[in-house]
Amino acid sequence: MGINWFKYSSPQAFHPLAGKMIPWFSVAAGLLIIIGLYIGFFVAPTDFQQGDSYRIIFVHVPAAWMSMFLYVIMAAWAGVGLGLNARPSFMMAQAIAPTGAMFTFIALLTGAMWGKPTWGAWWVWDARLTSELILLFQYIGIILLRAAIDDLRRADRASAVLALVGVVNVPIIYFSVRWWNTLHQGASVSMTASPKMATTMLTAMLIMTVGFWMYSFAVTLARVRCVILDRERQPMWGNQTSIQEVAEAR
Amino acid sequence: MQWGSVSEFFAMGGYGLYVWVSFGVTALCMCGEVLAVWRRHAAAVAETRDGSLGG
């Protein structure tokens, strides 16, 4: 018994490695978020147009970015899984989905909290908001589709295909503020133009974003460890052979 | 620093409700997720240990 069988295939080798990385990402996430909040609330000045309601940007924009980043990363793992038929890739895709869904929810909720004082409405059916809401439904659909299929390999492939098809929505979200008339303000930061924000505001927002990245790494690695353990308890070789017996047979 | 007092800080120039709900819900979601994953991992480890002991 014991931990020996972790060595015998890549998910098992990955489990302790992920365990070693999680504390570092967690500490980095905690520190960056504290620094970001400090700059956001105590250093960044009050906005001359929006007053202090603009401070919602320090969670809204990082969460919205993470919702799109995580979707692309999840779809990439799904694609690698389909291409190479690699179980660890599917496990990563599975582990990312709930965190992506959570950040999408946060982006929508903080958006409503910001929309009410600045636009006078919690919600409008404009392109940016609608496409982000669809992203939430996509995440939920991928999670539910996986849960609905008992055969793990079929569940992996089906949810991977759904994730890959849905990636078309990410550029739609990103460019929606340019393609359609919208209440939503344009990109605060873009690759082509200099930022339209005060330096301290931008600094706080970027530090929060890196903090959310570190958080996402930590929490998805922790979740992939759960997925590995849960899956290795399943009978993967058709009969009731346990992984321990397979390990001992080699 | 632009805050004259603690109550001024919490008032957020009249936008306190919106700002603090945003940050509060974000904090709740993230802490809740960490807790949920933590508990799921503890449960998975416990079940795996039982499984390998029992054969």
* Mean of pLDDT values over A188-208: 79
Cβ–Cβ < 8 Å for A207, A32? yes
Write down the ipTM of this complex: 0.89
CA distance readout (Å), A49 to A72, A119, A176: 34, 13, 24
Structure tokens at B38: 């933590």
Mean pLDDT of all residues in A173-194? 77
DSSP letter (8 states) at residue A185: -
Q: How many CB atoms within 10 Å of residue A243?
A: 22
**Greatest CA span in chain B, whole angstroms?**
66
Nearest to A114 among B2, B18, B55 (CB): B18
Of B11, B18, B30, B20, which is closest to residue A33 (Cα–Cα)?
A: B30
CA distances (Å), origin A242, targets A224, A229, A248: 20, 13, 10
Backbone angles phi, psi at A165, to 5 degrees: -60, -40
Cβ of A219 within 8 Å of Cβ of B34? The answer is yes
**Tens of each residue's pLDDT in chain B, 55 residues:** 678 888 889 889 889 999 999 999 999 999 999 999 999 999 988 888 776 655 4
Contact A229 B48 (CB under 8 A): yes
- B37: nearest CB among A41, A52, A226: A226
Q: What is the per-residue pLDDT for B47?
A: 85
Neighbours of A189 (CB within 10 A): 15
**Burial degree of A134 (CB within 10 A; 0-12, 13-18, 19+):** middle
For the record, the structure tokens of A64 come out as: 């919205």
Tens of pLDDT, residue by residue over A56-67, are 999 999 999 999
Residues of B in contact with A59 (CB under 8 A): 22-23, 26
In the Cβ-directed half-sphere of A98, how many Cα atoms lie within 13 Å?
19
DSSP string, B7-45: HHHHHGGGTHHHHHHHHHHHHHHHHHHHHHHHHHHHHHH
Q: Which residues of A touch B (CB under 8 A)?
A: 1-2, 41-43, 45-46, 51-53, 55-56, 59-60, 63, 98-99, 102, 105-106, 109-110, 113-114, 116-117, 215, 219, 222-223, 225-226, 229-230, 232-233, 242, 244
CB contact under 8 Å between A226 and B41, yes or no, is: yes
Contact residues, chain A, for B10 at CB < 8 Å: none
Query: What per-residue confidence (pLDDT) applies to A47?
Result: 86
Amino acid present at A112:
A
Question: Which chain B residues touch A116 with a CB distance below 8 Å?
Answer: 18
Pick the residue of B5, B21, B25, B30 with the most A CBs within 10 A to test the interface with A by mutation. B30
> Which residue's structure tokens are 């906005």?
A47
The helix/strand/coil state of A47 is strand
- What does the DSSP 8-state code read for residue A5? G
Least Cα separation, residue B55 to chain A (angstroms): 8
DSSP-assigned letter for residue A46: P
> What are the boundaries of each domain within chain A?
22-44+54-235
> What is chain A's mean pLDDT, rounded?
87
Task: Tell me if the pTM is above 0.90.
Answer: no
pLDDT interval class at A196 (50, 70, 90): low
* The pLDDT value given to residue A174: 92
Tokens of A124: 């409008």
